[in-house]
Structure 1
Amino acid sequence: MCPPNCLHSICENASRRGLLKAGFGIGLAAVSAGLGLQPARAAAPAQEHRFSKVHDLTHTLFEGFPTFSGEKWFTVEKPVTWEKDKVNLHRWTLMEHTGTHMDAPLHFSENGMSVDMIDIADLVVPLAVIDIRERAASDPDAALTPDDIKAWEAVNGPLPEGCCVAMNSGWHALLDSPKFTGRDAEGKNHTPGFHAETAEFLIKERSVKGIAVDTLSLDRGLASSGDFPVHYQWLGSGRWGVEAIAGLDDLPAKGAMLVVAGPKVRGATGGPSRIIALV
């Protein structure tokens, strides 16, 4: 989800988650097959990932789900009812970037991949969770920096090849609080996010396919000024992002696999997604 003026900024700047048992092991290809997904190209030999728990990292979407501007980005209508038609059916009206959702490269690039163009194998990846909760608790404008990446690696080893780096700022627990959007009296938003230098560092010096945040934006809320440096750098490089992710507190810093089950809609710049972690 973008901060206020995000859509206006784009227009101006663009020419633009029972049967699982402890110790059960599956390969990445089997994960995709279990979701009914087929790779778009010949896949590399599957690497086994053993897991015993499935974590849902998705907020439940509802009318009034927070947005930076306060606008309603998701509404539900009932064109038919059980009482009248003996059928339950809803009509949804939504902006692509609402609730827990993914950002495709096209969101902030002129000719980037839309959601349906992203190789499914690139959406099942190792997950690295970087915890900045202590800092963010005292500074809502805190950013995940290159030093945070290096500190994580000093403890956990190098970032896994082709991983997703997720920022845990603790913001997912604030969903029902005004602090979730951090909007002040001047209309500025104060929420943590990735620093632009971190996006550049990960692009140039690490092999990372995606980044994720538990806030409404990959950028800090202060990017509501319209700059969106992380969005432009990260998505512009052909990589994807996930915003408003939930449940990171329950995950280890390393060892989980992330499954990004996004909507396969032709030309979509993003969309509400079911985000799953296998641990």
Structure 2
Amino acid sequence: MADGGKTETKKSVKFPHNPVTGRCAYKKANFTINTFNINNNKISSALKVDEIKKDIIFLQESKKEDKIQGDYVYTFKPQGPIHNGMLVKDSVFEIDPENNYKYGHRWHAIILRRRAEPKKKIVAISWHGPRNVLGTEKKEAFNELIKFAQKIRRDYSAPAIIGGDFNVVEKTVRDWLKTKDEFKIEALEKENLKGYRKGKKSIDFFVHSSDLEISSINSIDITEKLKNLNNGDEGDNDESNDDEGDNDESNDDEGDNDKSNDDEGDNDESNDDESNNDRTLTKKMGKINLSTK
């Protein structure tokens, strides 16, 4: 109760992006994956929903201060205003003891070993693509990501999965990958878009090396699930940004016009520092060290 006998109203947690999930197969081994831009909320609030509890969860705009309960190891790397993290089920994977937590301007990569088959390594990369920049700069950033994924795959002789908020639409990434046979994209089918970002085009998906198979791509209406689970009191003590949740306005032609700054549809009013950081992306790209050792 607040002072004066009035009941305090807790803020509801707002997720402009719904988690996108899938099933991955590699040499007869199966595991589940999820990529989720959690919009600076705590992932612990969303983990109340069983459907998102996949073996690997790729996180964008995550928080360092988060108490994760259950069978998960949480890795996190602050990169200015761009925070990427990952949740890994400890019963399914262990983080490679030699892993040095590889970071780039907008990616967070870890090397995993399946506990059932320790010799099988997997490269997992969480990616948050640049927003408020020209399409040519987005493509340059994506190409740097793929170069890094190619190198780390060679270094560890392992397949790679990139889960992320790419801030461009699936069609654009498919075009970028036409000259890169080593990688494929898996995204939501049109019939599964209704519950994703209010029916907008998909910018959250998976890019993976061709030696992996990904199927059963689906989206979970996380806000609705939390409302049903908690009878409308999903907020608990999590901090959310009301402005970000209410202003997720996108352009249906997102990603196709290289001259547009916001064509990717991720207008949930991110931190202005991130926008400033994006505007110097080209300069930063020249300083990225692709070494993985």
**Which TM-score tier does this pair reach, normalised by the shorter chain?**
under 0.3
**TM-score, normalisation: structure 1:** 0.27
**TM-score, normalisation: structure 2:** 0.26
Q: Greater relative contact order (Cα 8 A, min sep 6): structure 1 or 2? A: 1
